[in-house]
Amino acid sequence: MKRIIINFLVILTINMYISTQVNAENKLDLYMNDFYTKSNEASLILKEIENDMKLGIKKKICSRQIKAAKLGILANESLIKAFKISGTEPPNSSINASQKRWESLLNDCKNIN
């Protein structure tokens, strides 16, 4: 019985004082997840706006469009950071086209207000 208690205390002590490695997200995964999350959310907002406009609902169109554009721009920034971390060359033409699209959506509504 003593031996079991001693073994238990040794194992408990080892587990308490020796840190265990946690498989946390690395920075590349963090930026890629951020990119996907923000770009998906921005696309969803734009689809909602499109559906509302088809139904003739014009409530808060610009404020939602601005929110989507800002999310899209932030998503592009995360994607660029992910490419830098991975050490690969980003597809600049695609990212620039996406950036221009989001900035256009942002500026269209800002000019109306």
User: pTM for this structure?
Assistant: 0.73
Which pLDDT value is given to residue 23? 47
Residue 96 · residue 46 · CB < 8 Å: no
Residue among 65, 70, 72 at smallest CA distance from 113: 65
Q: Which of 5-9, 40-44, 83-87 has the highest mean pLDDT?
A: 40-44
Mean pLDDT of 56-73: 91
**pLDDT classification of 64: cutoffs 50, 70, 90:** very high
CB-based burial, 1-39: b 16+ in 10 Å, e otherwise: eeeeeeeeeeeeeeeeeeeeeeeeeeeeeebbebbeebb
> What is d(CA 74, CA 33) in angstroms, rounded to the nearest whole number?
12
Give the H/E segment covering residue 73: helix 61-86
> What is d(CA 106, CA 17) in angstroms, rounded to the nearest whole number?
52
Which pLDDT value is given to residue 90? 86
